[in-house]
Each structure stands twice: as C-alpha cells, then as structure tokens.
Structure 1
Amino acid sequence: CERIEVRAAGGLNGEIVKEVSEIASRLPGFEIIERTNKSIVLQNFVDPSRFSVRGLTRRLQTMISTMFGNISDFLFSRSYEDIKSVRDLREKIHQLHELMIRLLITYLEHRGLGRRIGLRNSTEAYCMLMFSDHMLRIAEHLCSIGDDLLRFRKRIWRNEEMLNLLKEFVGTASMIFEDSVNVFINTDPQRTMKILNQIFNIVDHRFSSRELLNVRDSKDTHLIERILCSLRGIMLECERIVEKVFDRFVEDGGPVCMLKETYTSA
C-alpha cells in the first residue's frame, strides 16, 4: 500500500490539517491513518491495477455526459437541483482522474500488468493520460457554465430567444463530445477527419456567433461571453482528444496513407 507522510516546520496548524483532509477526500482509496502535532500519514487501501483503462474512460465519459444532461435539463425544466449537482460530479471526475494517473504510473512501473488493465504500450499509456486530462478540463468548463447560468438568476427565463440558443449550443457541444470520445476509444481514423471539420465549423460559425450577445443588460452580456468561452474551450479539448487517435492508430501499425481527407486547423 502507498503511504504519504505530510510534515510541516513548526508543527501542523488547523489550516494545514483541514487542507490535507480535503486533499485526501479527493484521492480515491486514501485515508488518514495517523495524526500527530508534527505529521499526518495517509495510506492507500485501493489497488489501482484492479481497474481497466477502458472501464475508467467509459466512467469519465458517463459522468461528463451526465453533467451535460443536467445543464440541458436545467435549461428545459428550470430545475435548480439539476444545475447544482454539476459541481458534485466535477469532484467525482477529479477522483477518477487521480485514479487514472495512479493506474498509468503502476503500468509504467510494472509493464507486465498491461494486458490485465488494457494497455499495450507506453504510447497508449501517454494517450490515455492526456485523454483523462482533457476530460478533466471539459468538466471544469461545464462547471463554469453551470455557475454562470446560476448567476443569471430568474433573468435567464425572460429572453426566450437567448434560452433557445443556449439549449442548442449545449446540445451541439454534447453531441461533439460523445462523438469525440467514441472515436478515441474505438480508434477510428476515418471518422476523426469528419469530427475535426465539424469542430472547426462550430467554433468558427456558431460559438463565435453574435446572436447570443443581443441582450440589453451588460451583466448578461458578460455572462454570455463567459459561457461562449467555456463552450469553445470544450470544443478545443474535444479536438485534442480526437487528434490523439492518430497517435494510437500509427502506433498500432495502421497505414497513414488511408487517411484521405485533410483538414486545416484554425
């Protein structure tokens, strides 16, 4: 089992203890097993090799899909419980991200575990690490969107045109997210080109649109700009996820010449 000992010069004060406890709560399997005036000892009781990389990627996908769903449900049903649960899901995704990192470190230290956890080589391990990092950033963007929607308060329901555009934009981002993750997991280079072109078109012609900015309240304009920025950030992370397909495809010995289409990054 992994052990972490935290020490502080001059002893541990209440603020340090609280911070360490909060960090421990976000690390899957870690618990505080010993605490003195000078140190805190954390111990891991979870073996990361019991998990598969594919299983963790699907769990990350499911949780972020739920975040998208909660935001969409809020816009359609006006249920504030849906939007408030987005932050809780973000914390769970942080925990899964930490578990993924530990799993990949375990693989790099013990390559014999590759077949057991679903990894074939170090390139794939790197791609999975980057995938998990991109998923974490998408979760952060969705959490920001949820916070900004709450800042509208009841004003959000007064502008039907703005509300409909928000519904459309969130739905579009959700669709691209699902396609990007699926093409990454299935290593499908042909669909990769199509999705990349869709992303560039959406960012250039939809999420940079001035339609949403036609509101009177300057405070609302600022919030809308923030939401559009978060949506573009999600598209950027999806683009990076999809581009990792090429690394995995080439590493698997796939013929690069079969990639017939081309795209130009903005």
Structure 2
Amino acid sequence: METRKIQKLGYSSLVVSLPKKWADQIGLKPGDSVFIKTDNGGLRVLPSMDTTLEREKRRRYVINTDIIFEEGIIERMLTGNYILGHDTVQFISQKGRVQPKHMDEIRRVVNRINGVGIVEQSLKLVTVQSFIDPTKFPVKGLMQRIYVILTSMLDAVIRGAVEGDYDMIQEVNHMENEVDRLYWLIVRQLLLSQRNREIAKAMGIDSTLHIVGNRTIAKSLEEMGDRMEEIANELMEARDKNISQYLDILKEIEAFKDKIKEILDHSMEAFFSLDVNIANTVINKSEEVKQQSKAIDKKIFEKVSEPLLASTLKLIITNLLQIAKHLGGIAEITINRNLEEPSKLCEWKE
C-alpha cells in the first residue's frame, strides 16, 4: 500500500497523483479518462473500456519455443492466453525454426476456438491474433447458444441409439466441439469483465457478484456437452453389438431423456427470467428422476447378459443423471441471484 499526499488545485478541487507503475501497467496516458467509484468509504480508480482494449491491442505475449519440450504446453499456453483476453500471442524460435510439432499444436487451438487466426508466419516466428470485440458477445447470449446446441445433442444421441442411426450419433461430437468453443469464449468474456466494469456492462453483467455464478453455470453447460459426447462415443464403440435388440429398454431411456430435456428447458427458463418457482421445480425434479433411473438400471441387470451392452446402457443412464445434477446446481444459483434484490417473495425490511 502506498501513501499519497492530497494537493489543492484551484479554489475547490483536491487532487492526488496516480502511481506511475500502475499507470504504465494499465497503459494510461495523459488525457485518458478513468472512472471513479465509491466503495465502502473508499474510492476505486478504474480504466475506461477504450483504454483497456487499446492496451491489449498494443501488447504482445511472446513465447520462446526453444525451451518448450513437453507435448501440450504450446497448446495450453495459447488457450490460456486466449482465455485471459490476450489478443496477440507470438511464438518465437531463436535457434532456427518453430518446430512442426509446435505448429501442429498452434493450429489445433486456432481451429478449436472462436475469432482467432494465424496472421504472420515465418520459420522463426508465428503470430496468432484474436479479432473478438468483447462488447459484441453478451454472456447470456452465448449461454443461450450453448443451451440450444445441448437440446439438439440430447435428442440426437438418444434418438440415434433408438433408430440405429450412427451418423446422427457421430454428429454429437461435432456439436460438442462448438459447445467447447462457446465455453472458452464465455470464460474469456468473464475474465475481461472482472478487469473492467464498463466492458462488463456491455456484456450484460450488472454486478461483479454474477461473474463467479456465470462461470459455474458455463462450466455446468460445458460438462453436460461432455456427458453427451461420452454417451455418443460409448454407443459408437458398441455399434457392432446390436444394441437395438433391447429396443424396449432404449425406449424407456428415450422417455427418461425426455424428462431430462424438460428439466433442461425449465432450468434455463428459470435462469434467464430469475423465476424462483420454476427453479425450485427444477431442483425437485432433478431429485425425482433418480428413482426412475433405478428402475431402468434394474431392467438392464435382469435382461442384458452381454457385459459391453449392459455397460453401455448403464453409462447412458449415469450420464443423463449427471446432466440432471448440473441442472439442479444452475437452479440453485438462479434462486440465490433472485435474492440479491427485494421482491414480493422476499421483502427487505429495516
């Protein structure tokens, strides 16, 4: 903590200088605007959105590939820089060239995340640039897009199993890749909003209290995509085992899926409208489906003698239950967020 003396300017204004190290780190220059916010008896000085975005455009994050030997480090460092809101990442080799294996990792990340491309490449240098304007991607809008994809994945993976349509099942993997892209973009947006309130408001985040909850919800949505991908992969592995011979069990699983889908619809409806009653229904129903899952598990145990098929059918039920559990968690966050403001349901009295 630093101590600064207050000085008088003119007849009534009081001024205090900003620490140079902080101003340089933020990228402030004479003439730039800052925001002053009262906070529990103190003052907070915040850079403007334009200052934050302009600083990121100027700054480069340089990675020395000559000292990276382990597989996956390049991929994780590029993904991490993207999530942190770093716009320009450069990979440099001083010894000769950026290795082909490193280029493969760079291309995998570029193909996997939104709004990023290789803008410069030579033997010794690769520059990756993000072209995303964070103010154009409200977080709730991105969540809505994931929700729409998840409903399609849920229908496709179970319907594909019932109808023996493995092309439909395989399509789930492609949809899951899009869920991952949107998830990483949400995390990037949330971290940027944490650093700048003006950017946060442009993203539709009214309170910093919502950042952690939004991150949890985004992770739950991404995990649901993973659960459906796991079901799809398991079904693809068992495609030669004639799982359709147990059509009666698959039909029960399809009915179970319909209940999970209904919970998914209600969970997102509750979140977007902050409806406590719907959220409470979601929590109750996410508990109720456990009993139905036990009945299907019992039927699998009694009727399916082939170990691989029994395992596949049980895994479907397990993953659908995990989805219901995540939806219950989203509903709990919804109720908590509703309580942040007084309402007819919960009045605030002194």
TM tier, smaller:
0.7 to 0.9
After TM superposition, the structure 1 = structure 2 runs for residues 136-147 of structure 1, keeping only pairs within 5 Å, are: 136-147=222-233
How far off its partner does 1:19 sit?
Answer: 1.4
Q: Distance in 1 between matches of 2:327 and 2:61?
A: 34
Matched-pair contact (CA < 8 Å) for 2:149–2:179: yes
1:9 aligns with 2:66: yes
Equivalent residue for 2:311, pick from 217, 222, 228: 222
Larger radius of gyration: 2
Equivalent residue for 2:106, pick from 1, 6, 20: 20
Matched-pair contact (CA < 8 Å) for 2:162–2:247: no
Q: Distance in 2 between matches of 1:235 and 1:4?
A: 41
How far off its partner does 1:208 sit?
Answer: 3.1
* Paired residue type of 1:206: Q
Q: Distance in 2 between matches of 1:93 and 1:139?
A: 7
Q: Distance in 1 between matches of 2:329 and 2:281?
A: 14
Structure 2 equivalent of residue 197 of structure 1: 284
Q: Deviation above 6 Å: which 4+ runs of structure 1?
A: none
Q: Distance in 2 between matches of 1:183 and 1:97?
A: 20
Report the TM-score, using the length of structure 1 for normalisation.
0.88
Identify, as 1 or 2, the structure richer in strand.
2
After TM superposition, the structure 1 = structure 2 runs for residues 177-188 of structure 1, keeping only pairs within 5 Å, are: 177-188=264-275
Matched-pair contact (CA < 8 Å) for 1:179–1:195: yes
Q: Distance in 2 between matches of 1:150 and 1:176?
A: 27
After TM superposition, the structure 1 = structure 2 runs for residues 36-75 of structure 1, keeping only pairs within 5 Å, are: 36-75=122-161
Equivalent residue for 1:33, pick from 99, 119, 140: 119
Q: Distance in 2 between matches of 1:26 and 1:108?
A: 24
Name whichever of 27-36 and 41-50 sits farther off. 27-36
Structure 2 equivalent of residue 133 of structure 1: 219
Q: SS of the counterpart of 1:120?
A: coil
Matched-pair contact (CA < 8 Å) for 2:172–2:232: yes
How far off its partner does 1:153 sit?
Answer: 1.3
After TM superposition, the structure 1 = structure 2 runs for residues 89-238 of structure 1, keeping only pairs within 5 Å, are: 89-153=175-239, 155-203=242-290, 205-209=291-295, 210-214=298-302, 215-238=304-327
How far off its partner does 1:67 sit?
Answer: 0.6
* Paired residue type of 2:317: L
Q: SS of the counterpart of 1:33?
A: strand
Q: Distance in 1 between matches of 2:249 and 2:112?
A: 37
How far off its partner does 1:13 sit?
Answer: 2.4
Identify, as 1 or 2, the structure richer in helix.
1
Point out which structure has higher relative CO (alpha carbons under 8 A, 6+ apart). 1
The total of aligned residue pairs comes to 257
Q: SS of the counterpart of 1:32?
A: strand
Q: Distance in 2 between matches of 1:22 and 1:170?
A: 33
Matched-pair contact (CA < 8 Å) for 1:31–1:42: yes
- Give CA-to-partner distance per residue, 1:169-217, whole Å, 9 cap, x none: 22222121111111111111122222211111112x0223322333010
- Give CA-to-partner distance per residue, 1:117-166, whole Å, 9 cap, x none: 21110112222221111100000001111112222315111112222122
1:245 aligns with 2:334: yes
* Paired residue type of 1:237: H
Q: Distance in 2 between matches of 1:253 and 1:17?
A: 54
Q: SS of the counterpart of 1:208?
A: helix
Q: Distance in 2 between matches of 1:78 and 1:66?
A: 17
- Give CA-to-partner distance per residue, 1:89-130, whole Å, 9 cap, x none: 111111111111122222222212344321110112222221
Matched-pair contact (CA < 8 Å) for 2:162–2:244: no
Q: Distance in 1 between matches of 2:233 and 2:336?
A: 35
Q: Distance in 2 between matches of 1:237 and 1:197?
A: 13
Unaligned runs of 5+ in 2: 1-56, 68-92
Structure 2 vs 1, CA of residues 70 and 6 (structure 1 numbering), >3 Å: closer, same or farther?
Answer: farther
What is the percent sequence identity of the aligned residues? 18
How far off its partner does 1:35 sit?
Answer: 3.4
CA RMSD of aligned residues (A): 2.1
Unaligned runs of 5+ in 1: 259-266
Q: Distance in 1 between matches of 2:134 and 2:299?
A: 47
